[in-house]
Amino acid sequence: MASGRWGARGDTGRRAESLAAALLERSGFQILERNWRRPEGELDLVADHDGTRVFVEVRSRTGDESGDPLETLTARKRARVIRAARLYLDSGAPPAATYRFDVVAVTFSPEGADPVVVHIPAAFDLND
């Protein structure tokens, strides 16, 4: 039984974030933060990849009927991620040579098959 503020939806989100972090780590990323939160914003994952600070938004869906997880990354959500990244950098985080915004999309199968996990580097930028 799911518990907490988000219930089953939150459990799915946490599972998606764990899958995303594992995929990134296998690709040489160092995860610096998971679920970095402030009242003004939140970041799913913050990572370092060869000197680049990567802010990772994780999107997930169950099944194909509800669409692709990437469809949920609206302009409003991108703006929130950018704002949260600025808050993170202003909070005294160590500087990096460059910065980028990646997305990891996770599609869970209602039948229990392995989830499909797709990493999209530089999915959006400050002008989005």
**pLDDT, tens digit, for every residue of 41-83?**
999 999 999 999 999 999 998 877 667 888 889 999 999 999 9
Q: What is the mean pLDDT of residues 91-103?
A: 92
> Which residue in this structure is represented by tokens 């098959």?
113
Q: What is the mean pLDDT of residues 22-48?
A: 96
Average confidence score pLDDT of the chain: 89
Q: Could you tell me which residues come within 8 angstroms of residue 95 by beta carbon, excluding any fewer than 6 positions away?
A: 89
Predicted confidence at residue 4, as pLDDT, reads: 43
The answer, yes or no, to whether residue 117 has pLDDT greater than 50, is: yes
The answer, yes or no, to whether residue 97 has pLDDT greater than 70, is: yes
Domain count of the chain? 1
Integer angstrom CA distances of residue 29 from 14, 16, 33, 48, 107: 19, 17, 12, 6, 21
Domain membership of residue 57 (yes or no) is: yes
Cα gap 126→117, rounded to integer Å: 25
Domain membership of residue 1 (yes or no) is: no
Percent of the chain surpassing pLDDT 70: 90
Domain membership of residue 87 (yes or no) is: yes
Find the CATH number of the domain harbouring 101.
Answer: 3.40.1350.10
Domain membership of residue 35 (yes or no) is: yes
Identify the domain containing residue 106 by its residue range: 7-124
The answer, yes or no, to whether residue 5 has pLDDT greater than 50, is: no
Say if CB 54 and CB 100 are below 8 A apart: yes
Domain membership of residue 2 (yes or no) is: no
The answer, yes or no, to whether residue 98 has pLDDT greater than 60, is: yes
Amino acid (1-letter code) at residue 88: Y
Say if CB 13 and CB 72 are below 8 A apart: no
What torsion, rounded to 10 degrees, do the Cα atoms 81, 84, 90, 95 define? -40
